[in-house]
Amino acid sequence: MCLCPMWEPKRKTVIILPMKKLLLPLLCSLTLTCYADGLPDLGDVSQEAISPQQERMIGEQSMYQIRANKSYLDDAEIADYLNQLGGTLIANSGEPTQAYEFFAINDNAINAFAMPGGFIGVNTGLILLAQNESELASVLSHEVAHVTQHHLARMVSGQKYDTLAAMAAIAVAIIAARDNPQAATAAIYGAQGGAMQRQLNFTRTYEQEADRIGLSTLQKSGFDTRAMPAFFEKMQRATRIAEGNTPTYLRTHPVTAERIADVGNRVQQHPFHLVPDRFNFQLVRAKLNANTKTPSEAVSFFTAALGEQKFGNPIANRYGLVLALLRNNQTQKAEQEFAALQQQAPTNAMITTLAGKLKRTNLQDKNIANFYRTATQNFPQHRALIYDYAEVLMQERRFEETLKLLNEQIIAHPNDAKLYELQARTFSILGRKQEEHHALAYNYILHGNLRGSIEQLELAKQMGTDYYELSTIETELKQFKEIAAAQRRKN
C-alpha cells in the first residue's frame, strides 16, 4: 500500500522522511477518529454510507494487529505472488483503481477473507488445497467482489450504534479466533455483538453476489471459470471434515449445495478452455510444502513426488526438495539437486533467490555480491533478492553501498518496514545512533506500534547531532504524542 508522496533524501546515505506528510492516513487509522491539528475527523457510521477513506482506515487498523500475530506469514515471495495474481483480477474488476493488499496467513484451515479497504488474507491451507491457479484465482475473485461491493461497509451503514472501532475490533477478533476461539467469542461480542449478528444475517445474500461478480471477474481475467464450482465442492468436503471444531461465527463463507449449483449453472454458459498455470503458482505451493512440514517430512514428500512422477510439476518439486534439504541441513545434497534444477528450470526470480541462498551457505564463494548485483538488475522488483543483497553487502562491510541500495528501495517502496529494519541495522554497525533510532521509529510505526515509535524518536532526539534531522524528529515527536494523547482520551 502506498500512503504518501515520494520521500526526499537528506544526503547520499540517509533518507529523511517528512513523517507528517507521509503518515497522515496511517496515523489517522491508529485512532480512527483523529484529534491532532490538521488531521481529518472521520466521524462515525451514522452517515448514509462509509467513505472509501474510512473503509481503508478500518482495514489498516486491523492489519496492524494481523501483522503482529504469529500466524501472519511474512514471506515477500509468497506475498508478491498473491499480489500479482490479485492484481490481474483487480484490473478486470468493477473497481480497478481500488488499492489492495493480499497477504498470507500461516494456517492449515481452508479459508480466505476480505476486510474493508481492500485487504485480503489467504490461508496457506487454501493455497495448498488448490490444484491449479484457476482454483486459487476463483477464491480471490470472490474476495475481491466482497471489497468492490463494499459488503462490510453496507453491513453497518446507517447504524448509529455501530462504530468504526467496533468493526476493526471484530475483524481482529476473527483472526484471533484461530489461536483461542473462546477468547475470540468474548472479544467479538464485547466489541459489537449486534454488528456480528447482522453480518451472519446478510451472509447468504452477499455470498451469492460475490459469487456472481467474482465469476465474471474470473472470466474477464482469462481463468477457467469451471474451477470455481469445482473448488467450492473441494472446499465443502475439506470443511465438512473439520466443521465440528470450527466456531459458527467463523464460517463466513459457508459453501452450500445451493451456491455450488448456482455457480455450476452459470459456468455452463461459458466456453471451456484449458488455462495453464503460471510457473510461480507451482513454486509457491512447493515452497509452502517445504516450509510447513517438518524438514524430514518435506524431504520425504518431495523425494517421493519426484520418484513417482505422478503428481505436481517436476521442476517445482525439485525446487521444493532443495528448500527442504537446506532446512534439513543437507547442504551438499541440496547443491546437487539444485544443479539438476538449473538444467531444467526457466529463468525465474524465485529460483534465482534460491541460488543466492545456496551461495550464501558456501563461505568459499567470493563472487556473491556480484551475483546479487546482476540478480537485482534482472529482477528489480523481487523484494526477497533486495533483502538478501543488503544482507550480503552488510556482511562484506560495504556499508555505503548497503545504504545506497536501501535508500533507492525506500524511495520506490516507502512503506516497506523491512527496508527500515535493514537500514537501522546498518546504522547500528556504523555507530550512527541517531539515524538508527530514527529508522527504527519508521519500522515501528509501519507496524502500528505508536508507543515504540515514540520511544525510538526520543532516543534519536537524545543522540541528535544533525540539526536538520533533529528538527524533523522533534516535529514527528510532537505529532505522535498528540495522537497518543488522543488515544488515551478516547479510551
Q: Is the pTM of this model over 0.85?
A: no
Same domain for 340 and 245?
no
Same domain for 192 and 325?
no
Please give the Cα distance from 48 to 150 (Å, whole number): 13
CA 64 vs CA 172, 179, 463: distances in Å: 9, 17, 29
CA 22 vs CA 185, 287, 339, 421: distances in Å: 37, 35, 46, 18
Give the per-residue pLDDT at 189.
Answer: 41
Same domain for 148 and 247?
yes
Q: How many domains does the chain have?
A: 2
Instruction: Give the three-state DSSP class for 432.
Output: coil
Grid cell listed for 301: 514428500
Question: Which phi and psi angles does 72 have, rounded to 5°?
Answer: -70, 125
With a CB cutoff of 8 Å and minimum separation 6, the contacts of 178 are: 71, 105, 107, 109
Grid cell listed for 413: 517502496
Same domain for 341 and 216?
no
Same domain for 336 and 262?
no
With a CB cutoff of 8 Å and minimum separation 6, the contacts of 434 are: 460, 463, 464, 465, 466, 469, 470, 473
Same domain for 415 and 474?
yes
Stretch (H or E) spanning 14: strand 14-16
The answer to the question of residue 34 being in a domain is no
Question: Which phi and psi angles does 384 have, rounded to 5°?
Answer: -60, -40
Give the per-residue pLDDT at 180.
Answer: 47
Q: What residues does 115 pair with on adjacent strands?
A: 119
Please give the Cα distance from 290 to 437 (Å, whole number): 36
Q: Which domain holds residue 84?
A: 42-267
The answer to the question of residue 37 being in a domain is no
The answer to the question of residue 25 being in a domain is no
**491 residues of the chain, pLDDT tens digit each:** 333 322 233 333 444 444 444 454 555 555 554 444 443 344 443 345 677 887 887 788 778 778 877 889 999 999 999 999 999 999 999 899 888 999 999 998 888 888 888 999 999 999 999 999 999 999 999 999 988 988 777 765 544 434 555 555 555 555 554 444 444 334 434 444 444 444 444 467 788 888 899 989 999 999 999 988 888 888 877 766 555 444 332 345 556 677 777 777 788 877 777 889 999 999 999 999 999 999 999 999 999 999 877 677 999 999 999 999 999 999 999 999 999 999 999 999 999 999 999 999 877 677 899 999 999 999 999 999 999 999 999 999 999 999 999 999 999 888 899 999 999 999 999 999 999 999 999 999 888 788 999 999 999 999 877 788 888 999 999 988 988 887 777 65
Same domain for 86 and 164?
yes
Whether 408 and 418 have beta carbons less than 8 Å apart is answered as no
Give the per-residue pLDDT at 39.
Answer: 38
